[in-house]
Chains A and B, each alone.
Chain A
């Protein structure tokens, strides 16, 4: 059977994207109405993690750079929100851009080694960042609350929303995650995303093709840091408490694991992976508390054996037997080379959810 070809931006493609969007929207609206409050809390947490993992996907899945510093930037966002909300009375949402900008700048600074290092060396240096993060948080306990942690009571939801605090937090988390998803997806699908892929393939080829590898790598690193900070800010808003030990190296490793499980399709993979790392350990400890680690580890191994390119890689391969989404052929205005189709305005504007 020949697969059905869908041209990106065609009416059919728009309809499919709209239909998928509608289904997702309905699911997102139904979730707070049917899930018990602890499950809702977990979904909200997963949205925060997903943003940090999406950021990681930009440099790891796209550009092939392994970073273990994502926990550092997650902490920067979490504490920016904690301090601004608890000590200065800010509204949580307004603190996210502050944390993002702060983490972006720190990311640029720490990313300087990324100019020179790659592979395991970069992983090692970023691991060092992750390791010193927790002691640093404890050292500045006047600001951060250190070991004891810091309570962050968030203000009540605005009365016009008519939502309970937890549903409001959920709504904010999902909205912010959607915006970040859109931004990251745009990057991955753009020429900049292509340049990132070129870096993953070969820095030499990338440079020969005109990619300023050093600059793009450090900017991408800083951007992924900003994403992690937004995720961290949401974490604080959701948990309403931050403590140093929540931001250890393990978080970074979990983010990487989520990416691998999520798989080869950068952005949807990040979301699948975040649900995996949020729900699977919890589910495993409900099944049997003593065996939780074994269960989690075993499933991780099984996924790697049977889905080597992750959940989304698997889905993409299966789907590609039936549906192929491709760029439209955009011909010059004269259109005299192949056929008579004129220029097709706006055809590339809609993102392919399927791809």
Chain B
């Protein structure tokens, strides 16, 4: 299998704080890869490097062989990469539908002029997007909250709305930052099921930052462990969970 995503010796420091100290790993095409580690390990920082929010000091991030560093941030979705945010990046005063439609921005050919004049092409595109959005909403069981303002929707549902918005980008690579955070047990199980199904239906590669170990161990085929900005383990979930370095990172060493 070819690598969908290659992280190669990425370094990033904020002032004196070394957030990333050269982790390297590959995510194979079509796999669900878990990215775990204690708080402050650099997981979200790495996400932010992939989606061009942070500029690494050195290293390389390649997506299907293409260097991402140097790409402009707003062009990342058109390369087929979508992400969700740890603390939700929804537009709280807009409806679920509008939030999901936002994901189609990079595919839209409408501009200020064609929008102002409501040209036939622009209206056709709008109908097409609405149709796709409704399909995704139905797929994720969000039909009931379609026209509800996002701030009136429970937190767990908001997480799913963000996932729906990411899917609206029509990504090949999906980066999920703690999607199970704040969900109930049954919601977590549902989410894992949906993610696996969506991966199969859309040929997705998923990179998942998650603290919910049950979810990571059950759904990931591959797990990468970061600690203090460096990779300390990389392999199958069962092997990683027995790795002494991982155990130490999570539980601390004796006499520490």
A208-B53 in contact (CB<8A): yes
Which one, A190, A197, A208, A347, contacts B91 given CB within 8 A?
A: A197
Residues B147 and A195 in contact, CB atoms below 8 Å apart: no
Q: Which of B159-208 contact A (CB under 8 A)?
A: 165, 169
Do B131 and A201 touch (CB < 8 A)?
no
The interface residues of chain B lying within 8 Å CB-to-CB of A337 are: 135, 138-139
Any A CB within 8 A of the CB of B249: no
- Residue in A closest to B107 when the chains form the complex, CB atoms: A210
Given A205-B85, A327-B147, A338-B143, A190-B131 contact (CB < 8 Å): no
Q: How far is the CA of A192 from the CA of B94 in the complex (A)?
A: 14
Q: Is A198 an interface residue (CB 8 A)?
A: yes
| Cβ-defined contact, B134 with A187, below 8 A | no
Q: CB distance A209 to B134 under 8 Å?
A: no
Interface residues of B in 59-97 (CB under 8 A from A): 73-78, 83, 85, 89, 91-95, 97
- Chain A residues with Cβ below 8 Å from B112 are 187, 192, 219-220, 223
Is A327 a contact of B97 with CB atoms below 8 Å? yes
Interface residues on A, range: 35 or more
Q: How far is the CA of A327 from the CA of B129 in the complex (A)?
A: 12
Given contacts A190-B122, A349-B123, contact A209 B135 (CB under 8 A): no
Q: A197-B93, A337-B139 are in contact. List 12 more A-B contacts (CB 8 A).
A: A191-B101, A191-B105, A194-B94, A197-B98, A198-B105, A201-B93, A208-B73, A211-B105, A326-B95, A328-B130, A330-B127, A349-B123
Q: Which 6 residue pairs are nearest across A and B when measured between Cβ atoms?
A: A210-B106, A190-B115, A205-B89, A210-B77, A326-B147, A210-B105
Judging by beta carbons under 8 Å apart, are A331 and B131 in contact? yes
Chain B residues in 8 Å Cβ range of A201: 91-93
Q: Could you tell me if A184 and B116 are in contact, using CB atoms closer than 8 angstroms?
A: yes
Query: Across the interface, do B115 and A192 meet the contact criterion of CB distance under 8 Å?
Result: yes
Contacting residues, chain A, for B74 (C-beta < 8 A): 206-208, 210-213
For residue B117, which residues in chain A have a CB less than 8 angstroms away from its CB?
183, 186
B102 contacts A by Cβ under 8 Å: yes
Contact of A186 with B116 at beta-carbon distance under 8 Å, contacts A194-B102, A207-B74, A210-B74 already known: yes
Complex interface residues of chain B between 123 and 141 (CB less than 8 A to chain A)? 123, 126-127, 129-131, 134-135, 138-139
Q: How far is the CB of B203 from chain A (nearest CB, A)?
A: 20
The answer to whether A193 has its CB under 8 Å from any CB of chain B is yes
**From residue 257 to 291 of chain A, which have CB atoms closer than 8 A to chain B?**
none
Number of A-B contacts (CB under 8 A): 119
- CB atoms of B105 and A194 under 8 A apart: yes
Q: How far is the CA of A205 from the CA of B139 in the complex (A)?
A: 24
In the docked arrangement, what's the CA distance between A202 and B91, Å?
8
Q: Which residues of B contact A328 (CB under 8 A)?
A: 130
Q: Which residues on B sit within 8 Å (CB–CB) of A347? A: 127
- Please list the residues of chain B having a beta carbon within 8 angstroms of any beta carbon in chain A: 51, 53, 73-78, 83, 85, 89, 91-95, 97-98, 101-106, 108, 110-112, 115-118, 122-123, 126-127, 129-131, 134-135, 138-139, 143, 146-147, 165, 169
Give the distance in Å from the alpha carbon of A218 to the alpha carbon of B160 in the complex.
33
Structural contact, B129 and A191, CB atoms closer than 8 A: yes
User: Given A202-B89, A213-B74, do A330 and B110 touch, yes or no (CB 8 Å)?
Assistant: no
From A190, A219, A223, A329, give the contact of B110 (CB < 8 A): A190
CA A180 to CA B110, docked complex, whole Å: 19
A204-B138 in contact (CB<8A): no
Contact present for A195 and B105 (CB under 8 Å): yes
Task: State whether the Cβ of A304 lies closer than 8 Å to any Cβ in chain B.
Answer: no
Of all chain B residues, which has the CB nearest A326? B147
Kindly identify which residue among B51, B106, B130 contacts A348, using a CB–CB cutoff of 8 Å. Answer: B130
A202 to B54 Cα, complex, angstroms: 16
Q: Let me know if A119 is at the binding interface, CB within 8 A.
A: no
Complex alpha-carbon distance, A165 and B95, angstroms:
47
Q: Which residues on the B side are within 8 Å of A155 (C-beta)?
A: none
Instruction: Kindly report which residue of chain A lies nearest to residue B128, judged by CB atoms.
Output: A330
B145 nearest CB across to chain A (Å): 12
The residue in chain B whose Cβ has the minimal distance to the Cβ of A188 is B115
Contact call A191/B110, Cβ cutoff below 8 A: yes
Chain A residues lying within 8 Å of B105, measured Cβ to Cβ, are 191, 194-195, 198, 209-211
Of the residues B77, B115, B165, contact of A186 by C-beta under 8 Å:
B115
Scoring A191, A193, A328, A329 by chain B CB atoms within 10 A of each residue's CB, the highest score goes to: A191
The residue of chain B having its C-beta at the shortest distance from the C-beta of A190 within the complex is B115
For residue A332, CB closer than 8 A to chain B, the reply is yes
A197 cross-chain contacts in B, Cβ below 8 A: 91, 93-94, 98
Q: Is A343 positioned at the interface, with any CB of B under 8 Å from its CB? A: yes
CB distance from B60 to the nearest CB of A (A): 21
The answer to whether B126 and A187 have CB atoms under 8 Å apart is: no
Which of A320-334 touch B at CB < 8 Å?
Answer: 324, 326-332
Q: How far is the CA of A186 from the CA of B110 in the complex (A)?
A: 12
Closest residue of A by beta carbon distance from B123: A349
How far in angstroms is the closest Cβ of chain B from A313?
Answer: 11
Instruction: Name the contact of A191 in the complex, choosing from B75, B94, B126, B138 (C-beta under 8 A).
Output: B126
Which residues 286-341 of A sit at the B interface, judged by CB distance below 8 A? Answer: 324, 326-332, 337-338
